[in-house]
């Protein structure tokens, strides 16, 4: 009987190593979702319209080359609109460039980045999604908590 326990352990170890290697092979490019983006020439009105028309919770602003300049969340837009209590007409939305709503370029990952690394970045930086870019920095897609929950549980069980 003593021989059976180490054999079982070895089999579990081999299976565990195989699962570990398999999960490390999943890249962001393989599992990413479509990114929601508008050009950097978009106005705040364009952002509000796109978010409400498509029921999105976020949108990326990209430059002429498709490189993400920033990300705008629907809640941030609502906060800005709420602060405009003196003049609530929509004229200011047409005149204000959406780029004024972004503060810094978003943290991004490459298509070749392992999904586990993207998950770790989201946890460390308290993000719910990351843009996926190619080697030139052009926006390809997005990975999020929901991406993680769709693809990682089979390796955890």
- Confidence band, pLDDT 50/70/90 cuts, at residue 149: confident
CB 67 within 8 A of CB 57: no
pLDDT of 66: 94
pLDDT of 141: 96
- Confidence band, pLDDT 50/70/90 cuts, at residue 3: low
CATH number at residue 106: 3.10.580.10
Torsion of CA 39, 40, 41, 47, to 10 degrees: 70
Instruction: Report yes or no on 114 lying in a domain.
Output: yes
Instruction: Report yes or no on 14 lying in a domain.
Output: no
Residue 88 is part of which domain span?
23-156
Average pLDDT over the chain reads: 83
Instruction: Report yes or no on 43 lying in a domain.
Output: yes
Instruction: Report yes or no on 8 lying in a domain.
Output: no
Which 3 state secondary structure label does DSSP give 21?
Answer: helix
Global pTM value: 0.75
Q: How many residues does the chain have?
A: 157
Instruction: Report yes or no on 30 lying in a domain.
Output: yes
Instruction: Report yes or no on 101 lying in a domain.
Output: yes
| More reliable by pLDDT, 9 or 63 | 63
- The predicted-structure confidence for 20-52, as pLDDT tens digits, reads as follows 567 678 899 999 999 999 999 999 889 989 999
- Confidence band, pLDDT 50/70/90 cuts, at residue 86: very low
* Number of domains, the chain: 1
């Amino acid at each position: 009987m003593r021989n059976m326990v180490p054999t079982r352990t070895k089999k579990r170890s081999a299976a565990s190593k195989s699962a570990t290697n398999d999960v490390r092979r999943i890249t962001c490019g393989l599992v990413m979702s479509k990114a929601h983006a508008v050009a950097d020439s978009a106005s705040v009105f364009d952002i509000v319209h796109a978010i409400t028309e498509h029921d999105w919770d976020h949108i990326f602003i990209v430059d002429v080359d498709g490189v993400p300049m920033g990300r705008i969340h629907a809640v941030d837009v609502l906060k800005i609109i709420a602060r405009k209590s003196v003049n609530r007409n929509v004229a200011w939305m047409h005149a204000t460039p959406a780029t004024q709503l972004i503060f810094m370029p978003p943290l991004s990952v490459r298509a070749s980045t392992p999904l586990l690394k993207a998950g770790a970045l989201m946890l460390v930086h308290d993000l719910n999604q990351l843009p996926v870019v190619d080697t030139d920095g052009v926006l390809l897609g997005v990975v999020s908590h929901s991406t993680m929950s769709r693809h990682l549980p089979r390796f955890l069980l």
